[in-house]
């Protein structure tokens, strides 16, 4: 008990304090070292990359705290002599300083593939995009290789013929159609793969990308399709450009009903959605899609590649080659344009009279989309279809107006927006007495009542521009409405602007 009384907690505290006091110098050094280490760790992320510490800088600190451990630290100086690069200025004999530029990395793709199709027994077409500066300032080239699936057959290759179709309209990317025509290729339907070898042609960094663009399974090709005209599925096929923006469902309804009647049952319409076929527009197209009269291609992904007008040159060339052997005639125009033939003619009789030509262009009749004819009375005017009330034609004299066109696609290798410059055969430019088109510019992109100014005169001057009343398309309005009702019923009667 006496020992227990003598053992007091205060004695332990005094002993601990004494130990700490005896070793206070060493503890201070330890705490100071920790403080320096933590400070350096905190400041290191903010030290510029040009600042460096060598191993010799820490020699004193290491030896100070670890005297029992011998440390041998040596530093080796590395002398790097920079090589002369191609970007260094060179003074020419005449005193001019020659500057050079060296590219690094990739700013645009060498080739962006959209599609590839057979163009015959021994030919193919590859459609895509490529860097515009590469084709303007460089010398890119293409080689095509056909690799049969049958191992007993040898691969064959040929030089690809590149066709630039956008006539200088390209932006970062330009449209390229590569024609691959092989001197000899087996017509045996055993399948194979088409490889496109795209070479940049850069003198300092010549790179080649080998791209599989088409694979055919055995017995998947109907070779008679390329030699038998009677196998064509359609008499007339419409190839539309890229549709974008907030399009009017009612204007699209009017356009498709008019042309489905105009071209007849053996026609088909191919539309390309670049963001313009929103939900309301698709509901207008749905009945015609269900009837097999319309096909919609979703091409919104092409927006990643900055080409002219939503890459419309690429889109129409894809349409050309996709349906090249499925239609006798192919038409290229927009969804605010309406084709017309004189009353005593039909589209069939007109096309038969132009069969000797591979292409013909179509004259434009410009219509106002801002002023309307009020001959039916203001109340009834607003219930009319767009082409019934937008009846004033612009008669201002201009040097030329844009034309649209039609082709016999089997004679065309690549195409454009207003005509093709890559075809075999003749082109006819004086078909205005046979066929014309009426252009309601801007009407398709207005989701509101188009009539802002009403007139009831045969001649009008509006904003210093002369117009005349032209009821050519207006006069067939009732027939088009009755055709729509007979064909798809009343499903679209409640369509809004």
Mean pLDDT by 10 residues, the chain (497 residues): 47 53 67 77 60 41 39 46 56 75 75 93 94 90 94 92 88 94 80 94 84 93 82 94 94 97 97 94 96 95 90 95 96 97 95 97 95 84 90 91 94 94 96 96 88 91 95 96 96 87
Rounded to two decimals, what is the model's pTM? 0.79
- Cα 201 vs. chain centroid, distance in angstroms? 24
State how far the Cα of 177 lies from the Cα of 162, in Å rounded to an integer: 6
Unique residue bearing structure tokens 């163009």: 119
Q: What region does 442 belong to: left with phi over 0, alpha with psi -120 to 50, or beta? A: left
**List of residues 6+ apart from 222 with CB closer than 8 A:** 231
The whole-angstrom separation of Cα 435 and Cα 236 is 15
- What is the rounded CA–CA span in Å between residue 330 and residue 319? 10
3-state per-residue secondary structure call for 8-29 = CHHHHHHHHHHHHHHCHHHHHH
Cβ burial 387-422 (10 Å sphere, 16+ → b, else e): bbbbbbbbeeeeeeeebbbbbbbbebbbbbbebbeb
Residue 437 and residue 366 in contact, taking contact as beta carbons nearer than 8 Å:
no
First-to-final CA distance of the chain: 106
pLDDT at 226: 84
- Spatial separation of the C-alpha atoms in residues 258 and 275, rounded to whole Å: 23
Question: In sequence order, what are the beta bridge partners of 127?
Answer: 115, 177
In the block, tokens 């990359």 appear at 49
310 torsion bin: left (phi>0), alpha (psi -120 to 50), beta (else): left
Residue 476 is predicted with a pLDDT of 96
Closest CA to 390 of 445, 336, 451: 451
Write the burial class of residue 84 (CB in 10 Å: 0-12 exposed, 13-18 middle, 19+ buried): exposed
128, two tokens:
């895509």
**pLDDT the model gives residue 85:** 47
- CA–CA distances in Å: residue 381 to residues 92, 306, 371, 446, 495: 76, 42, 12, 17, 17
- Cα 209 to the center of its chain, rounded Å: 20
Q: Give the length of the chain.
A: 497
Instruction: Copy the structure tokens of residue 222.
Output: 């109907």
Within 13 A of 366's CA, how many CA atoms are on the CB side? 15
Task: Report CA-CA distances (Å) from 216 to 3, 191, 232, 234.
Answer: 102, 5, 21, 24
Scanning 212-344, the segments in alpha helix (DSSP H) are: 249-263, 279-290, 312-322
What residues have CB less than 8 Å from 290, skipping those under 6 apart? none
Please identify which residue in the block is written with the tokens 């599609």: 115
Mention every residue, 6+ apart, whose C-beta is less than 8 A from residue 85.
102
Alpha-carbon distances of 423 from 165, 279, 377, 427, 477, rounded to whole Å: 12, 38, 50, 9, 37
Check: CB of residue 64 under 8 Å from CB of residue 30. Answer: no
270 close to 315: Cβ distance less than 8 angstroms = no
CB atoms within 10 A of CB 9: 7
C-alpha distances out from residue 81 to 78, 84, 198, 398, Å: 10, 9, 38, 68
């Amino acid at each position: 008990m006496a020992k227990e009384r003598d053992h007091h907690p205060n004695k332990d505290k005094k002993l601990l304090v004494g130990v700490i006091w005896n070793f206070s110098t060493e503890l201070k050094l330890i705490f100071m070292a920790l403080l320096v280490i933590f400070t350096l760790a905190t400041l290191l992320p903010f030290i510029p990359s040009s600042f460096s510490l060598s191993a010799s800088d820490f020699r004193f600190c290491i030896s100070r705290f670890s005297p029992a451990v011998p440390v041998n630290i040596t530093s080796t100086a590395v002398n790097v002599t920079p090589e002369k690069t191609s970007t260094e200025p060179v003074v020419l004999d005449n005193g001019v300083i020659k500057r050079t530029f060296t590219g690094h990395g990739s700013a645009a793709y060498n080739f962006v593939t959209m599609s590839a199709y057979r163009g015959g027994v021994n030919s193919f077409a590859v459609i895509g995009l490529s860097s515009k500066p590469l084709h303007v300032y460089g010398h890119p080239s293409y080689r095509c290789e056909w690799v049969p699936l049958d191992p007993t057959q040898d691969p064959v290759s040929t030089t690809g013929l590149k066709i630039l179709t956008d006539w200088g309209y390209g932006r970062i990317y330009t449209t390229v159609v590569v024609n691959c025509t092989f001197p000899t290729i087996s017509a045996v339907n055993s399948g194979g793969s088409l490889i496109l070898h795209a070479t940049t042609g850069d003198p300092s960094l010549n790179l080649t990308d080998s791209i599989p663009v088409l694979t055919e399974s055995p017995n998947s090709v109907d070779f008679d399709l390329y030699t038998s005209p009677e196998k064509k599925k359609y008499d007339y096929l419409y190839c539309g450009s890229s549709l974008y923006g907030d399009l009017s469902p009612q204007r699209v309804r009017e356009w498709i009903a008019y042309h489905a009647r105009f071209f007849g049952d053996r026609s088909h319409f191919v539309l390309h959605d670049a963001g313009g076929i929103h939900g309301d527009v698709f509901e207008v197209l749905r009945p015609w899609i269900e009837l097999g009269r319309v096909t919609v291609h979703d091409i919104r992904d092409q927006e990643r590649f900055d080409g002219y007008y939503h890459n419309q040159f690429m889109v129409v060339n894809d349409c050309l080659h996709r349906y090249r052997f499925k239609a006798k005639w192919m038409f290229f125009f927009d969804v605010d344009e309406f084709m017309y033939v004189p009353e005593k003619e039909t589209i069939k009789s007109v096309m038969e009279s132009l069969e000797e030509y591979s292409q013909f262009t179509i004259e434009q009749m410009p219509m106002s989309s801002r002023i309307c004819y009020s001959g039916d009375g203001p109340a009834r005017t607003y219930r009319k279809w767009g082409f019934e009330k937008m009846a004033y034609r612009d008669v201002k004299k201009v040097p030329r107006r844009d034309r649209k066109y039609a082709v016999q696609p089997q004679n065309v290798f690549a195409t454009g927006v207003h005509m093709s410059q890559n075809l075999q055969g003749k082109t006819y430019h004086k078909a205005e007495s046979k066929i014309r088109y009426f252009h309601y510019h801007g009407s398709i992109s207005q989701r509101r009542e188009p009539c802002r100014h009403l007139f009831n005169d045969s001649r009008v001057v509006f904003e210093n521009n002369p117009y005349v009343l032209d009821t050519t398309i207006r006069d067939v309005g009732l027939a088009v409405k009755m055709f729509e009702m007979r064909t798809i019923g009343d499903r679209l009667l409640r369509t809004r602007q």
